[in-house]
């Protein structure tokens, strides 16, 4: 992989680093879990279970942390293929492309549910459950991870 800057700042993460590769593999696991379990819960589970709250909180924390990490992760220039390591360019690119999408998909619904003390019965819980569907937007993230993996190789 060629770099625009020979020496990237210490706070810029490289997409091919062991940390980011591990992070993305774990992200795929959480996305697949969300893609299978969230629709199941919306359709068949009518009561809030304590374990589900902690599972949701863990996944939501991971997704929010991913948004923050993406702000500091270098990306390949689509035209030249060079890795962009300038933090201003990284932030502007992320804000123009995936930021809004990632924020919507990362919204912490379990915290919202706990803050408003929404009970398991009633239509308000169904609305909270339906509001979790934007998490499925994260499925598109798998495609992005695969594309970045191909570009990096």
Please write the tens of the pLDDT for every residue from 37-64: 878 887 887 777 778 888 888 988 999 9
Compute how many other C-beta atoms are within 10 angstroms of the C-beta atom of residue 36.
Answer: 10
Please write the tens of the pLDDT for every residue from 69-124: 999 999 989 898 899 999 999 999 999 998 988 888 888 776 766 676 655 444 45
Domain ranges for the chain, please list them.
18-152
CA distance 28 to 151: 18
Structure confidence at residue 69 (pLDDT): 96
* Burial call 48-75: b when 16+ CB within 10 Å, e when fewer: beeeeeebbeebbeebeebbeebeebbb
Enter the pTM of the model: 0.76
């Amino acid at each position: 992989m060629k770099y625009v800057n020979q020496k990237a700042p210490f706070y810029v993460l490289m997409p091919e680093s062991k940390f980011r590769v591990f992070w993305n593999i774990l992200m795929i696991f959480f996305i697949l879990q969300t893609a299978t379990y969230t629709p199941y819960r919306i359709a068949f589970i009518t009561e809030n279970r304590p374990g589900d709250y902690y599972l949701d909180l863990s996944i939501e924390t991971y997704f929010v942390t991913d948004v923050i990490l993406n702000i500091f992760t270098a990306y390949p220039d689509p035209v030249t293929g060079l890795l962009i390591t300038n933090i201003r360019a990284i932030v502007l690119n992320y804000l123009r492309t995936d930021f809004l999408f990632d924020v919507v998909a990362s919204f912490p619904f379990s915290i919202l549910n706990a803050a408003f003390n929404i009970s398991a019965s009633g239509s308000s819980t169904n609305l909270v459950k339906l509001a979790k569907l934007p998490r499925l937007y994260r499925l598109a993230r798998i495609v992005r991870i695969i594309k970045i993996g191909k570009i990096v190789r």
